[in-house]
Chains A and B, each alone.
Chain A
Amino acid sequence: MEFEGPDRVAEALASVDYLADDRIAQVVYLAEMLSKPVLVEGPAGVGKTELAKAVAAVTGRDLIRLQCYEGLDEAKALYEWNYKKQLLRIQSDVDHDWDTISHDIFSEEFLLTRPLLAAIRSTEPVVLLIDEVDRVEVETEALLLEILSDFQVSIPELGTMTANTQPLVFLTSNNTRELSEALKRRCLFLHIDYPDTEREQLILSARVPGLSDHLAGQVAKVARSIRSLDLKKSPSVSETIDWARTLLALSVEEVDEKVLGDTLHVLLKYQADIEKAAKELTSSPTP
C-alpha cells in the first residue's frame, strides 16, 4: 500500500486508533517514499513500539520483531546453522564423499532464519521492528548496518541475500546510550515526546471508548501538570490511558482532589512520586 501524502498517513493511522502528529505522519511518509529505516527515540511509554504496530496494521504487512538485549548476537538476530540437523545429515549418509556432503550441509535447508534474515527473505513486504536497539553493545550494532542501508545480509557460505521486497524498518531507542554515528546516518530520526494536551485528549478519546470529552480533557491536563513536576518517572501515555480507564470504571464524572488522591497510584509508580504529586496538586495530601 502506498501513501499519497502525510495527511493520508495520519488518517490511516487514526483508523487503527494511533493518532499521529505532523511530525510522525511526515516521517512515516518519508520512510515509505525513500525506503529508509526510522530511528524512533523518546521517553518510555509514548507509543514508539505502538507506531510500528500501527503502521503494520494499516499497510496490512506482517510485523517481524527483534527484541534487543545485552548479549544479543548474530546467531539470535540474523541466522544460525542448524548444526544438529547438519550432524544428522553427516551421520546418516556414509556413502558420499566429504565434498558432496560439505557442500550439501551449507544449503538453505540447514539455515535457521532469525528475525533480521526472515524480514529480508519474506516474499510479502513486512514491517521490521528492532526494539530497544540501545540495549545491544556497540559491536553488535554493526550487524544492523548492512541491513539498514542495503537491505541485504551476507552469509559467507551462501553469498549475499538481498531483500525480495522493501521492508519498512523501525528501530526504537530509549536513549540509554549514544547510538553510533554510522547507524544514525542510515536512519531518519524521529523523536516522539509526550503529546500536547489536545492530542493526548484525542488519544484518550480514541483509546478509551465511553470516556466523555470533558473527562478526557481533564485527564490530559492533569497529566501535563504532573509531567511538569520533577519526578522519578513521569506518567507515560499508556499510564494516562490506564488512569482514564480506571476513572471510567469507577464512573467518575469530574476529577477533583479526592478522586485524584485515591487513584494517583495508577498514574505514578513510585511512592515518593505519588506523595509529591499529591502534595503539589491537591490541598489535602493523602495519608
Chain B
Amino acid sequence: MLPVITGFIDELREAGVPVSMVEAIDAMKAVEAIDIGRRVALRETLRATLIKNLRHERAFDTAFDIYFSTIPLPGEGEAENGPTSGDPGDASGGQGAGAGAGEFDQEALFNALLDALAGMDAEALRRGVREAVDRLAGMEPGRPVGGTYYLYRTLRRLDLAELEEQLLQALSGDEELSELEERLLREEVEALISQLREEVQEEIRRRLVADRGREAVARTLRRPLIEDIDLMHATSSDLADMEAAIGPLTRKLAARLARRRKKRTGRLDFRRTVRKSLATGGVPADPQFKHPRPHRPEVWLLCDISGSMATFSRFTLQFTHAMSTHFSKLRSFAFVDTIDEVTDFFGPGIDFGSAVSRITTEAEVVWLDGHSDYGNSLETFYNRYGPQISPRTTVIITGDARNNYRPPRDGVLADVARASRALVWLNPEPIAYWDTGDSAMSHYARHCTSVHEVRTLRQLEEFVETLTLPSGRSLQNA
C-alpha cells in the first residue's frame, strides 16, 4: 500500500497541489489507523489529510480515481471493484469483454440502463455501464489518450437525450404534472444522467489505467489547477469552475478595502478611560480611544470588453457581478472605444447571463469601429463621470492596454488618479508582453497607484491579499 500512496502524493504534487512533508506523514499514519478495505474510507482519509483547499478537490478526485480504482482492496466485494479487462462472472459475462460487436443488442442495453436508473439500482447500473463501455467506446489499447474521446463516443452512441426523455416518462407515470413538479422531476433525471456519465467516465479511466499504467494516464489527464489557468485562454467549463472561486475572493476584497486602520488614530475617549482606570486604582494605565468610523469603500470598475479580451472580460464581468453583492457603492463601466456605465445591469438578483447580453446590446460601448481605443474611452469617462470621483473612490481598470496605435491620451488618467483614493490597473497579459506592439501600458502605468499582472486566478488572489491602499484622504484636501 505504501508505494501506491507515495506515488499518489507525487501525482498530487505534479498536478500542483501543495502537499507538505508533514501532511504526507499524517496521511500515512491515518491510513494505518483505518480499515483500508473500504474505498470510501480510504478516499476521505486521504482527502482530509492531503487536501486543504476546496479548489484542489478536482485534482484530487481525478488522481484518486486513477490510483485507487484498479487496486483490488482486501475485503471489498467483487462487484465493487470488478477487474477491468476480461471481466469474468456477472451478467455481462456471457458475452465477455472484447467479443465482436456484431451480436450485441443495443436496445436491451438501453433498457437495462433505463431500468437501473429508474430503480436507482447501483449494481445494475454498474453492470450496464461496463457493458456499454465494452461495446460502444471502441477502446484501442496503447493509445496515449485521456479518455475524453471514448467518453464522448460511448455517450453519443448511448443516445443520452432519448434516455433522458424515457426516464422522464418512466418516473412521471401517467399523471398530469404541474410546472413545479415537472421542474423537480427534470432535475431528478438530470442528476441521474450525470451519475451515469460519471460511472462511464470512471469505467473508462479504470480501463485506461489497466492498459497503460497509472503514471501514464495521470500524466495525460493532468490539468492545471483552476487558479493557474490562463484567463485569456480559459474554456467555458473552466470559467464555470472559476465562478465558484470568485465568490470568496470578492468577499476578501470587500473586507480588505473596508479594513479599519489599526493604528489608534481616534481621539481620546475620556469617559471610557476614566471608567477603565477604576480597575487600576484611578491610574489611567490603559487609555481608551474613540474608534474611527469604519470605511465605506467605493469602488469603480472599468472593464475592457473588446474582442481581444473576450474571455478575460467575461471573467472580469463575472468578478464585477460577484462584487456587486458585497459593495453597496460599486459602479461598473464597460468600454471598447467609448465608455458607458453598466452598474444597473448588475443589480442584485439579476443573473449573470442576462446582464452580459444587456451590456452587449444596450450599453453604448462602441463609438467608431469597435476596436479598443483607451484614449477616447478614458477621456469620455473623465468628462462624463470625473466630477463624481471622490477621495473615497478606488478606481480599478482591467484591460490589456492594447490601443491599436491610437494616441494613448494618458494625461487624463493623471487627473483620475489625483481625484481618487487609488487607481489600480489589472492587466491580463504577461509582463513581458507589455509595451510590445500596440500596448501602451507604460504610458498608463506611471499614473496608477499600482499595476498588476493578473493572468490567473492565483494572481488575482495575490492582488487581493496584498492590496494596501493609501488611507482615504480627508475631504478638505480634495
Q: Name A residues whose Cβ lies closer than 8 Å to a Cβ of B.
A: 5-6, 22-23, 26-27, 29-30, 33-34, 36, 38-39, 41, 83-84, 87, 91, 175-178, 181, 184-185, 187-191, 197, 218, 221-222, 224-225, 228-232, 255-257, 260, 270-273, 275-276, 281-283
Say whether A34 contacts B30, CB under 8 Å: yes
Within 8 A of A (CB), among B31-83: 33-35, 40-41, 44-45, 47-49, 51-54, 57
Docked-complex contact A26 and B40, CB < 8 angstroms: yes
Closest approach, in angstroms, between the C-beta of A52 and any C-beta of chain B?
16
Say if the beta carbon of B20 comes within 8 Å of chain A.
yes
The minimal Cβ–Cβ distance linking A43 to chain B, given in whole angstroms, is: 10
Q: Is the CB of A22 within 8 A of B44?
A: yes
Most buried by B among A34, A228, A232: A34
- A-B contacts, 7 of them at CB < 8 A, read A26-B48, A30-B33, A84-B280, A177-B252, A185-B22, A272-B347, A272-B350
- By Cβ-Cβ distance, the 7 closest A-B pairs, closest first, are A272-B349, A26-B44, A184-B52, A188-B48, A33-B33, A221-B184, A272-B348
A176, A189, A257, most chain B CB atoms within 10 A: A189
B184 proximity list for chain A (CB < 8 A):
218, 221-222, 225
Take A189-B48, A221-B188 as given contacts and tell me if A255 and B349 are in contact as well, using a CB distance cutoff of 8 Å. Answer: no
Return chain A residues, CB-CB under 8 Å to B351: 229-230, 276
With A26-B40, A177-B255, A185-B20 in contact, is A275–B349 under 8 Å at CB? yes
Query: Would you call B349 and A273 a contact (CB within 8 A)?
Result: yes
Q: Is B251 an interface residue (CB 8 A)?
A: yes
Assess whether B48 is in contact with A190, with CB atoms less than 8 Å apart: yes
Say whether A6 contacts B41, CB under 8 Å: yes
On whether the beta carbons of A30 and B325 are closer than 8 Å, the reply is: no
Q: Is B438 an interface residue (CB 8 A)?
A: no
Nearest CB in chain A to that of B281: its residue? A87
Taking a contact as CB atoms under 8 Å apart, the answer to whether A257 and B178 are in contact is: yes
* Nearest opposing residue in chain B for A138, CB measure: B465
For residue A185, which residues in chain B have a CB less than 8 angstroms away from its CB?
20, 22-23, 52
Contacts of A276 in B (CB 8 A): 349, 351
Interface string of B339-355 (1 = CB under 8 A from A): 00000000111111000
- Set of chain A residues within 8 Å of B48, measured between Cβ atoms: 23, 26-27, 30, 38, 188-190
The answer to the question of B180 belonging to the interface, with a C-beta cut-off of 8 Å to chain A, is yes
Total A-B contacts with CB atoms under 8 angstroms apart: 116
Chain A residue with the shortest CB-CB distance to B50: A189
Contacts of A221 in B (CB 8 A): 184, 187-188
CA distance A145 to B465 in the complex (A): 21
* Contact digits for B253-266, partner A, Cβ 8 Å, 1 yes 0 no: 00100000000000
Judge whether B279 and A84 touch: CB under 8 Å.
yes
Residues of A within 8 A of B18 (CB): 181
Which residue on A lies nearest to B179, using beta carbons? A283
Interface of B with A (CB < 8 Å)?
A: 18, 20, 22-23, 26, 29-30, 33-35, 40-41, 44-45, 47-49, 51-54, 57, 178-180, 183-184, 187-188, 191, 248, 251-252, 255, 279-281, 325, 347-352, 461, 465
Please name all residues of chain A whose beta carbon is closer than 8 Å to the beta carbon of B255 when the two chains form the complex. Answer: 176-177
Which residues of A are found within 8 Å of B33, using beta-carbon distances? Answer: 30, 33-34
**20 further contact pairs, Cβ within 8 A, besides A6-B41, A83-B280:** A6-B34, A26-B48, A34-B26, A34-B29, A84-B280, A87-B280, A175-B248, A177-B252, A185-B22, A185-B52, A190-B48, A221-B187, A224-B187, A229-B351, A255-B180, A256-B178, A272-B348, A276-B349, A276-B351, A281-B183
Give the CA-CA distance A199 to B141 in the complex, in Å.
Answer: 40
Docked CA distance A245–B187 (Å): 24
Report yes or no: A260 in contact with B20, Cβ–Cβ below 8 A. Answer: no
Cβ-closest chain A residue relative to B461: A178
Given the complex of chains A and B, what is the CA–CA distance between A181 and B22 in angstroms?
12
- Residues of B contacting A87 in the complex (Cβ-Cβ under 8 angstroms): 280-281
Look across to chain A and name the residue whose beta carbon is closest to the beta carbon of B38: A6
CB of A257 within 8 A of CB of B187, answer: no
Contacts of A229 in B (CB 8 A): 351
The docked-state distance in angstroms from the alpha carbon of A83 to that of B285 is 12
Residues of B within 8 A of A36 (CB): 26
Least distance between A173 CB and chain B CB atoms (Å)? 10
A256 to B47, CA, bound (A): 40
Contacts of A188 in B (CB 8 A): 48-49
Q: How far apart are B293's CB and chain A's nearest CB, in angstroms?
A: 15
Q: Closest CB-CB distance, B458 to chain A, in whole Å? A: 11
Closest to B33 in A: A33
Asked if A270 contacts B349 (CB within 8 A), the reply is: yes
Among candidates A30, A41, A270, residue contacting B34 with C-beta atoms closer than 8 Å: A30
In the complex, which of the residues A27, A191, A232 contacts B348, with contact meaning CB atoms closer than 8 Å? A232
Nearest neighbor of B348 in chain A, beta-carbon distance: A272
Q: Are B23 and A26 in contact (CB under 8 A)?
A: no
Residues of A within 8 A of B352 (CB): 230
- List of A residues within 8 angstroms of B49 by Cβ: 30, 188-189
Contact at B248–A176, with CB atoms within 8 Å? yes
Q: A83-B279, A232-B325, A270-B349 are in contact. Are A189 and B51 (CB under 8 A)?
A: yes
Question: In the complex, what's the smallest C-beta–C-beta distance from B263 to chain A, in angstroms?
Answer: 14
